[in-house]
Structure formats: structure tokens, C-alpha cells
Structure 1
Amino acid sequence: MKSLAVFCGSSPGNHPIYMKEARKLGERLAAEGITLVYGGSTVGCMGAVADAALEGGGKVIGVIPKSLKDVEIAHEHLTELHVVNDMHERKALMAEHADGFVALPGGAGTLEEWFEVFTWAQLGYHQKPCALLSIQDYYQPLYSLFDHMIDQGFLKREFKDLVLIEKDSAVLIERIKNYRANYHPKWSERRKK
């Protein structure tokens, strides 16, 4: 594991634990020598994870769309900052630079970014780990939603099993480092007919 894409909020959240844990993840990545790939901002949890990684001597690659450069306040002190045309380019470039993906608490944008790479894993487009750092059980409702999707026949249990979820960043990083893909073709039952 050389690099990890982190999707997270450009907001700090309503509880100081979110910023604290974002910093903790950044510190851990730097200590492990894992390059942080993220959205390129200085604000919210995005800024916290990047600042902590940089302060720890880590490498940080930021990717930010032109339209968000001023809104999300692009970080000018990164190892690399890529300014791209739109969100599609942002996500593609982040995925290209990353050996795995983790979502910290965030809003719709965080979920959209994470779900895209998780969907790619289901389709076999990549075999990189997709993880959730569930600070204060933030992602427990989502994890429960996966069970509902399975019960209703819209998600295979094998795909839920692709998701690594932990409350502690150190434990999560170890699981990501030891991840071995166990890909199950999404449409295998249709090919048999």
C-alpha cells in the first residue's frame, strides 16, 4: 500500500471528534509512509487530514476542480496539487493515484465519491480496498442499509463483505494494508442461463 484516497467533508462537522480523528488519520498515514490522495482543500476534515499528514512529513496529493478551487480553498502547500476541469476528472485522477479508498464522515459528496469506487469494485474495475472510518458510529446506519439492500435482493452479501469498516484509524489502516481482494463477478448467475 503506497497511497490511500481519503474522501471526507469540507465541513468540520458538529462535534470536535471529527476533526480530531481526521488529523489522527493524516498522522497515521505519514507515519506509515502512505501517500494521502484527497480533494485538495484546506477546510473542514479535508484540510485536517492533509495538514496532519504534511506536519508528519508525509506526501499529500490534492485534486480539486477549477470551480471549487476558491470555494473549498485549494491547499497551496501540498506535495502535488492537480487542478482539474470537473468532478469526473477529480474522481478519476484520485482513483488513478490511489491503492485504496476510505471515507471519513462527510455529506452527499463524500458518499458519492466513495460509492463510485465501491461500485467499481463490485464490477471488477479494480480490486482495491474500499473502507469506511466510522467515527462515532457515523457509518453504522449505512452499514445497516447494506443489510436492507441484501434482504430486498439488490445487493449480494459478498459485496457488503468487500467493505472494511472500523472506528479506529490504526486498526483500519492495518486491515487495508492486509486486504486481499475476493472478487465475485456481479453478473455470474446471468452468464449461466
Structure 2
Amino acid sequence: MQIFAKQNRFRRGEDMDKIAIFCSASDHIAPVYVEKARELGAWMGQNRKWLVYGGSDTGLMEEVARAAKEQGAMIMGVVPDKLEERGRVSNLLDVTFHTVNLSDRKDIMLQEADVMVALPGGVGTLDEVFHVMAGATIGYHSKQVIFYNVEGFWNGLLDFLSGLEAANFAHRPLNNFYQVANTFEELTALLK
């Protein structure tokens, strides 16, 4: 694995939270999701947070990164080789981790971030969420996922997780490993 870093605009020793964002790379989703991704990105920049994400130049990934960068955030992209081969890497990255596959990408994002936020997304986002939660259930780490439940996007999944517990497929309450933010205000309160 190779790491390339551009010049850091922040002073050494300055404490900055690193927030991993899991989200859609689709450009064909409802505008409300784009709006909420940009709002979160802008907040991250204004509050001097690091964005840790998958490094794509498409969908909510690029929207959150662009808004964060415009407000001064540092951007860390964890980029699998298939994304590079397709020429889909964002040009906003301050730090780039090159990975061989999605498994490495998830491990690095988990390692580098203090907390993970799941914006609306597809199977890739679900894969990332469950990677974090599964590791926490076994005790590999104590990091949580925050589901940003824009327009009730995550309601079906949250109901499914409750069903797992009710049917005794969880050894302990699964909400030990995640939190839910139904509004932007709830989300930023959890991230402060």
C-alpha cells in the first residue's frame, strides 16, 4: 500500500476529529440527499474536521468532499485500484491511501476515522456499515456508526436490526454499536 500526502494546511499538533463518511456514489438520486451531504461537508470544514471517505468523484461522495473542501476541511481518500483504473478518483484529496480492494479500503477507513457516518447509500455503504458494526460486536474496536436518517432512509434497516435482536440473532443490543440522527442538528450534536 502506498500513501501520498499533499501539504497539510493545519498546524502540527492541532486536534482534528476524523469523520468517515459512507455514502452513495450515484449521480442519479433525489436532490434532498445531495443537499444534506453538502450541508454535512460544509459543517465539517467550518468545524475543522477531517473527511475520510472512499475518494470517488461521483455521487454523494464528491458532493460531501467538495463542500468540506470549500470550507477548509482536509480530505483523505481511501481509493481502491478499480476506482483508479476507471478514472473516478476525486481531485480534492489532500491525502490518498491506495488500496488493492474494498476490504483494505474498509480497514483503513476504520483505522483512520474516529467515528463513521452513514449517509444514504447502496450495497457498498451497507458493506461498510456492517464491517464496522461486526468488528465492534466482537471487540476489535469501540467505534460506532451514526445513521444519518435523511427522509427516513434507514428506517427499513433499523427495523431489520431490531428484528435480529427480537429473534435472538444478536448477542447484545445492536444499538450499542450505532446511533441514529434523524435531523442535521441531531447529527452535529453527536459529532461534537
For Structure 1 versus Structure 2, the TM-score category normalised by the shorter chain is 0.7 to 0.9
1:38 aligns with 2:83: no
| Aligned partner (choices 175, 178, 185) of residue 160 of structure 1 | 175
Which whole-Å CA distance do the structure 2 matches of 1:111 and 1:24 have between them?
A: 22
| Aligned partner (choices 114, 117, 123) of residue 129 of structure 2 | 114
| Aligned partner (choices 72, 96, 121) of residue 81 of structure 1 | 96
Which whole-Å CA distance do the structure 2 matches of 1:71 and 1:169 have between them?
A: 33
Q: Structure 2: which 5+ residue stretches go unaligned?
A: 1-15
Which whole-Å CA distance do the structure 1 matches of 2:74 and 2:142 have between them?
A: 23
- Paired residue for 1:132? 147
Which whole-Å CA distance do the structure 2 matches of 1:128 and 1:44 have between them?
A: 26
Contact 2:19 2:51 (8 Å CA) reproduced: yes
User: 1:97-126, CA deviations, whole angstroms, 9 ceiling, x for partnerless residues?
Assistant: 100111111100110011100111111111
| Aligned partner (choices 12, 19, 22) of residue 7 of structure 1 | 22
Which whole-Å CA distance do the structure 2 matches of 1:92 and 1:74 have between them?
A: 19
Please identify runs of 4+ aligned residues in structure 1 that moved more than 3 A. Answer: none
What SS does the aligned partner of 1:69 have? helix
Q: TM-score, normalised by structure 1?
A: 0.86
Which whole-Å CA distance do the structure 2 matches of 1:138 and 1:123 have between them?
A: 27
Q: What CA RMSD, in Å, does the superposition of the two structures yield over aligned residues? A: 1.6
Identical amino acids, percent of aligned pairs: 32
What pairs up with 1:45-124 in 2 under 5 angstroms?
A: 45-71=60-86, 73-124=88-139
Q: TM-score, normalised by structure 2?
A: 0.86
1:23 aligns with 2:23: no
